[in-house]
A = this chain, B = another copy of it.
Amino acid sequence: MRRTILLITIAFASGMLISSMVIGQQSQMKKWQKGKGWGWVWGKEDEVGALNEMTDASRLAALRLADHGKTYDLGVRYDRTSFKWPGHSPGEIISFRTPEGVKRQQDPPQIVNNNASGTAWHSAALFISDNVGTQIDGLAHATEGDDDHWYNGFKEKDWGGNWGPRKADASTIPPIVARGVVIDIAGAKGVDALPSNYIITVDDIEVALRKQKTQLKPGDVVLIRTGAMRYWGETGSDHVKIAAHDSAGISVETAKWLVEQNGAVMICSDTSGVEYQPNPEDARAFREKYRSFMPLHNYLLIEQGIHIGEFHYLEDLARDRVYEFCYVACTNKIKGTAAGFTLRPIAIR
């Protein structure tokens, strides 16, 4: 009875409608436990992880945040010159067929005959890494242990292969439609971009959230802004400038707070790795403390089953002070890829 009255009130004002759903959302989390997060809780065959929390209701609530219909493109443009981690394979986008080439080769002949309009086409052949441009790391990206296992205990000896991991590859990442929240650390600090090797702490986040007047809610896609992507330019070719900011990021402790206290289902940033990277002098101590060169990846991808979004372009959102929106991202559906790459996630408000 009270519920009905409440609903009528909601129906009256759509703002209320949204908040009730959001309020409901928390209690509707399927497996999340405050203080613990998730872990391998989705069944032995699960390849999806925390994104399993998405439901029709959560998606609908997220969509309802879009009350203007304005979209923000969070992808950066990629080409052969783009900044990337040097350990990934290089990239070329090469004209495979061109109008002149098709006509000169008269190939394929059955196509080029009886063609009074002189029709032809462009196509490209790509040699490209699955870890470039705007990315979402799949749950098979990071491994650990002598048995080289990844999320949910999938082991290399069972599920490795020559054509990519055969469990939890990026083609298993479902379309993501969720409430997105930008936490603008650079903005809160009044800098263009955070300096090299800056560690973003829980305190930094709380300060920024207060300034923004934003609240985190379980089920959120959280996007941390360092400001590094303001140097991407057209295609990320100024490697020196980008590298100078790319190592700022959250610590494992900050990630734990986001996940275990706040229920983030995905964590993104505008850097290549989301996580803080130490400078060379601090690297040894860092690794001895965390036992890994990328402990945030171990924690999020392997332990918690949480996808990581990298190189997300957050400049337009920050400029417009849009901190809360509907986040939509779909990775390419390519079997064997370890990550979604050169993506164009969108924020809709």
Chain B contacts for A114, CB-based, 8 A: 283-284, 287-288, 293
Chain B contacts of A58 at CB under 8 A? 69
- A41 within 8 A of partner (CB): no
**Chain A positions 197 through 228: 1 when the CB is less than 8 Å from some CB of chain B, otherwise 0:** 00000000000000000000000000000000
> Please, how many residues of chain A have a CB less than 8 angstroms from a CB on the other chain?
136
Q: With an 8 A cutoff between CB atoms, is A240 at the interface?
A: no
- Would A95 and B332 count as touching, CB distance under 8 A? no
Chain A, range 135-186, C-beta contacts under 8 Å to B:
140-146, 148, 150, 156-166, 171, 174-175, 177
Knowing A6-B11, A12-B11, A175-B73, say if A334 contacts B126 (CB, 8 Å): yes
Q: A6-B8, A95-B95, A163-B79 are in contact. Are A123 and B59 (CB under 8 A)?
A: no
Q: Pick the contact of A177 from B127, B287, B348 — CB < 8 Å?
A: B348
Q: Please tell me if A244 contacts chain B, counting CB pairs below 8 Å.
A: no
The answer for the CA separation of A160 and B166 in the assembled complex, in Å, is 20
Q: Kindly specify which of A42-50, A99-107, A249-257 makes contact with the partner chain.
A: A99-107
Name the distance in Å between A155's Cβ and chain B's nearest Cβ: 10
| Chain B nearest CB, measured from A22 CB (Å) | 11
> Which among A32-40, A187-195, A261-269, A338-346 touches the partner chain?
A338-346
B residues in contact with A69, CB < 8 Å? 55-63, 177
Query: Known: A101-B95, A163-B94, A175-B346. Is A115-B291 also a contact (CB below 8 A)?
Result: yes
Interface set of A (CB-CB < 8 Å, partner B): 2-4, 6-17, 19, 55-63, 66-71, 73, 75-80, 86-90, 92-102, 104-105, 108, 110-111, 113-131, 133-134, 140-146, 148, 150, 156-166, 171, 174-175, 177, 235, 283-284, 287-288, 291-295, 297-298, 326, 328-339, 341-346, 348
